[in-house]
């Protein structure tokens, strides 16, 4: 399957802030973790390792009628920080501050 086409189709179904966040996240992953491949995961925008397993994914707010979208990292992401660390982040805006934080997490995820 063409992961990029699937991802673009999934993002194309989104609107408003969900679409802005999805497009921005795709750009960040493409720039900071080019080893990850675009795909969909349970119909969600996602980016996978060489084995095709999702490492980063987006749950748009509209999917579950939530007040915010969620950017998640699977157990394959190397974001461990001691014995307790967050694996998902609620997001209501994708500005410069959020992009900087996400870029650092994405780089760490594939380190």
pTM for this structure?
0.95
Instruction: Say how far apart CA 49 and CA 31 lie, in whole Å.
Output: 15
**Predicted confidence (pLDDT) per residue in 1-34, tens digit:** 599 999 999 999 999 999 999 999 999 999 999 9
Residue with structure tokens 């679409």? 19
Give the CA angle between residues 16, 17, 23 to the nearest 5°: 95
**Predicted confidence (pLDDT) per residue in 33-58, tens digit:** 999 999 999 999 999 999 999 999 99
Tokens, residue 99: 């992009």
Identify any residues that bridge with 73 across adjacent strands, giving them in sequence order: 56
% of the chain residues with pLDDT over 90: 98
Residue 1's pLDDT is what? 58
Taking 90 as the threshold, does the pLDDT of residue 70 lie above it?
A: yes
């Amino acid at each position: 399957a063409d992961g990029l086409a699937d991802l673009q189709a999934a993002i194309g179904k989104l609107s408003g802030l969900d679409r802005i966040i999805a497009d921005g996240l795709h750009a960040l992953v493409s720039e900071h973790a080019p080893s990850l491949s675009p795909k969909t995961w349970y119909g969600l925008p996602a980016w996978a390792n060489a084995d095709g397993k999702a490492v980063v994914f987006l749950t748009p707010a509209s999917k579950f009628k939530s007040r915010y979208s969620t950017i998640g990292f699977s157990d394959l992401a190397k974001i461990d920080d001691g014995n307790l660390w967050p694996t998902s982040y609620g997001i209501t805006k994708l500005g410069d501050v959020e992009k900087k934080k996400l870029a650092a997490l994405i780089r760490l995820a594939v380190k």
